[in-house]
Amino acid sequence: MNKLTHLDESGAARMVDVSDKETTDREAVAEATVSLSAEAFAAVAAGNAPKGDVLAAARIAGIMAAKKTSELIPLCHPLALTKAGVEFEMQDAEKRIRVVTTVKTSGQTGVEMEALTAASVAALTIYDMVKAVDKGAVIGGVKLVAKSGGKSGDYRAGAAAKPAPFKPRAAATPMRSKPTTLMGEVAAPRPSQDAAAQREAFRKFMTAHGLRATEWAKSAGVPSGQILGFLTGRSRTIPHDVAEKLARVARARVEDMFR
């Protein structure tokens, strides 16, 4: 077994002396997962969780955590990071969010702990943002995916490839509210739109009008599952009578919710 580098000859903890190490470009990728209830997952996807934009808050928290790792992990070296990135993968079938962090530096020690800390804190922030909806959310799978640079060379966990950056859903991005059309003639969603396009348009409508699924459904006198099922892809459409009630509460036309 290799000697633990963070212990001196007497077994006391120490910060490793890296003075003689070569300065090289170093990179590390880590991940964590957050498993959510269907309601919480839909709220994150729609960008209307009780505390606001979940992914935006988690991204900033992860970046800040990477920069402050040496203040949190006692024997880590303070590093000048050249990159700290946080991306998210929304896994609809599992109702799970995969957090992927990438950290880079040019220095004498690696950034594995920075990447792992960023993934952990981003996941914790997601929990904090959704706990009002789902206190049973589970954080797991925190691990180093890959690293490069340094004396120990490259490492990759199993056969996993470095994930491509995830492009956040448009619905999770803060949007300017557009003028609301007063309730008039009710029309059905245009049949030329496919289910995915209608779902994305519906998310944007909710975000633009500050609508939360459970509260909106309650005000309209319809089951919240009608909205959540549509947002998460369990159902392809919202029944027309339900859509009419939702539109009436939102003071809009049905067709405005799907375009």
CB atoms under 10 Å from CB of 96, counted, come to 18
CB atoms under 10 Å from CB of 221, counted, come to 11
Enumerate long-range contacts of 2-10, CB under 8 Å, 24 or more apart: 6/75
Q: How far apart are CA 57 and CA 218, in angstroms?
A: 28
Q: How far apart are CA 120 and CA 206, in angstroms?
A: 30
Catalytic site residues? 128
- Which one, of 78, 95, 90, lies nearest residue 138 by Cα? 95
The dihedral over CA atoms of 103, 108, 109, 114, expressed in degrees to the nearest 10, equals -30
Q: How far apart are CA 224 and CA 239, in angstroms?
A: 13
